[in-house]
């Protein structure tokens, strides 16, 4: 779901819908197992991921658009000037603002990394509990890969790991047992202690 943010604007909408569906599923699991911390950690993870990716992608797109305008590929008239991409200034190697583009890309990746890393920590807390309660180890594996991928986003290759983690997350949800087997165990019957005996004094 992380990679969907790159495909604007529909990618953002699809990514948010995907995260909402994940939260709905996690909420049902939390209700069944009686542990609301599962949902709480997942909600924090989702909010951090959405904010981080949205801010990072916005910085990246702004840098690219600014770079394109400096080189005359985009003007105030719109994207029609993209035909200037093959202009003499480009083919001759006279490109303006390349350093700003690199700086913007680095800042965008750093912002994504700063938000995704704590997001992965909270998601792993949630999914580790789910894996333990439902005995579906795929949740723990997906959360671990998500954490590794979040840590590697600073060098961009982490997005590939995040994609694999998303696939394993889908497999984990489809590997859940039936609803009937998810019923919480009955509470043990508590027998109150007998009332204290009152000794009568003759």
Nearest CA to 112 out of 152, 74, 72 is that of 152
Q: Give the confidence band of 196 by pLDDT, cuts at 50, 70, 90.
A: low
Whether 4 shows a pLDDT value over 90: the answer reads no
What is the pLDDT, as a whole number, of residue 93?
A: 52
- Please provide the DSSP assignment of 4-36 as one string: GGGSTTHHHHHHHHHHHHHHHHHHHHHHHHT-T
CA distance 179 to 33: 11
CA distance 148 to 130: 19
Whether 109 shows a pLDDT value over 60: the answer reads yes
Q: Residue ranges of the domains in the chain?
A: 2-76+94-182
Half-sphere exposure of 57 (CA within 13 A, CB side): 17
pTM: 0.70
Structure confidence by residue, pLDDT tens digits, 26-73: 999 999 888 899 999 999 999 998 888 888 888 888 888 877 777 666
Whether 128 shows a pLDDT value over 90: the answer reads yes
What is the pLDDT, as a whole number, of residue 160?
A: 87
Whether 103 shows a pLDDT value over 70: the answer reads yes
Q: What is the mean pLDDT of the chain?
A: 78
What is the pLDDT, as a whole number, of residue 197?
A: 64
First vs last C-alpha separation in the chain: 82
């Amino acid at each position: 779901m992380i990679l969907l943010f790159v495909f604007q604007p529909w990618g953002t909408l699809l990514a948010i819908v995907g995260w909402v569906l994940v939260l709905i599923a996690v909420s049902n699991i939390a209700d069944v197992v009686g542990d609301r911390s599962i949902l709480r950690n997942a909600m924090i993870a989702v909010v951090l991921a959405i904010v981080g990716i949205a801010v990072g992608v916005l910085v990246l797109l702004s840098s690219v658009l600014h770079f394109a305008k400096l080189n005359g590929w985009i003007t105030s008239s719109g994207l029609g000037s993209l035909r200037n991409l093959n202009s003499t200034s480009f083919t001759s190697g006279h490109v303006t603002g390349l350093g700003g583009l690199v700086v913007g890309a680095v800042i965008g990746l750093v912002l994504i990394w700063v938000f995704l890393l704590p997001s992965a920590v909270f998601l792993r807390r949630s999914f580790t509990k789910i894996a333990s309660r439902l005995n579906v180890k795929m949740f723990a594996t997906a959360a671990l890969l998500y954490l590794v991928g979040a840590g590697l986003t600073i060098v961009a290759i982490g997005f590939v790991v995040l994609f694999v983690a998303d696939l394993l997350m889908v497999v984990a949800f489809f590997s859940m047992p039936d609803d009937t087997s998810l019923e919480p165990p009955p509470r043990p019957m508590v027998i109150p202690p007998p009332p204290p005996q009152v000794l009568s004094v003759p």
